[in-house]
Structure 1
Amino acid sequence: MYLVYKYKLMKPITLCFLFASIWLRSQQTVSYEQGMLSPTAKLDTISWLAGHWKGEAFGGIVEEIWSPPQNGSMMFSFRLIADGAVGFYEFGHIIETNGTLLLQLKHFDADLNGWEEKDETVDFKLVKITEDRLYFDDFTIEYISDKEINMYVDVGEGDGKSNEVKFNYHRQ
């Protein structure tokens, strides 16, 4: 009887752990928490990111062009083309600073009107780096092969809820 009771008790708990592990595996971004320290990293370890990449997201074609690492910086441009028109642009870089990496960007509409204030950038601190992934704050870049990468961005919903978007890119 004890074993039957124990099994019945463990079954819901096991299901909870199973669902939690599936959810955690599907969540590709991690957040930078107050008090964390970014890991040591150099741009040379992510030179695979340099190049011209295209994919689909936000109901259109997305394109990114990354420069090779040089003098502590990798710059990039991004654009979304949807319904036959430019939706928006991003311009930015990953820089080496204080022994780690920082991703900074600015958004612009189709007429190059900035979304952020003149002297403001959107900053993504490095949380973790592995052989094939860069985990910035709510922004992950994943190396699949020399011809394919994924980017995962938590675009949020303004009410504290997570909304992760996957960008699958192929080298052009």
Structure 2
Amino acid sequence: MRVILILLVAFSYTTLTAQKTFKLTEGETSPNATLEQVAWVAGHWKGEAFGGVAEEIWSEPLGESMMFVFRLVNDGKVSFYESGHIKQVGETIIMQLKHFDGSLKGWEEKDQTVDFKLVKIGEDKVFFEGLTMEKISETKMNAYVLIESEGKKEEVLFEYHKKKS
């Protein structure tokens, strides 16, 4: 009985702390994918992250892209925005975005974007480098983002619920 309990605790800890974001290995290319495979992301999503309210609005696929906007609100004020898309590029997809502060001053240089190459795609999950989106149900989605700061890496969970139209 004691062995079973130890195994259950070890399994639970491993499951709860399992890495959710991944990276392509050197020389590896993104797999084939289409926007239709990630169309389930479309909608208005809201949740909590970084001590505030996180909100994302995603469009349906159109013009070889799915556009989105994001905002984080802390203490009743916008901390930052993101604007971007998932774009069809040949036989695969890529996620690209730009950050803006609460006054819409850009963080990245004018012609620079933050790019997330596709690592793997499943029926209800899409793995970009450092960012994973997972459909839990028709009204719930989790996003895991690998945040690097001061030499430390941390996966941050965004638990989103779909707002009704």
TM-score w.r.t. structure 1 length? 0.85
Task: Tell me the distance in 1 between the aligned counterparts of 2:130 and 2:50.
Answer: 18
The answer on 1:145 being equivalent to 2:137 is yes
RMSD, matched Cα: 2.0
Deviations 1:114-145 (A, max 9, x none): 00000000000000011111000010000111
Decide which structure has greater strand share: 2
Gaps of 5+ in 1: 1-14
After superposition, where does 1:13-24 map in structure 2 within 5 Å? 22=14
Q: How far off is 1:25 after superposition?
A: 5.7
Decide which structure has greater helix share: 1
Task: Tell me the distance in 2 between the aligned counterparts of 1:82 and 1:108.
Answer: 15
Name the % identity.
Answer: 54
Residue 166 of structure 1 is matched in structure 2 by 157
Structure 1 segments of 4+ aligned residues over 4 angstroms from their partners: none
Q: Secondary structure at the match of 1:48?
A: helix
Task: Tell me the distance in 2 between the aligned counterparts of 1:55 and 1:24.
Answer: 20
How many matched pairs?
Answer: 156
| Structure having the higher Rg | 1
- Contact conserved, 1:32 with 1:138, CA < 8 A, in 2? no
Gaps of 5+ in 2: 1-6
Counterpart of 2:28 (choices 28, 31, 36) is 36
TM-score w.r.t. structure 2 length? 0.88
* Amino acid in the other structure paired with 2:61: P
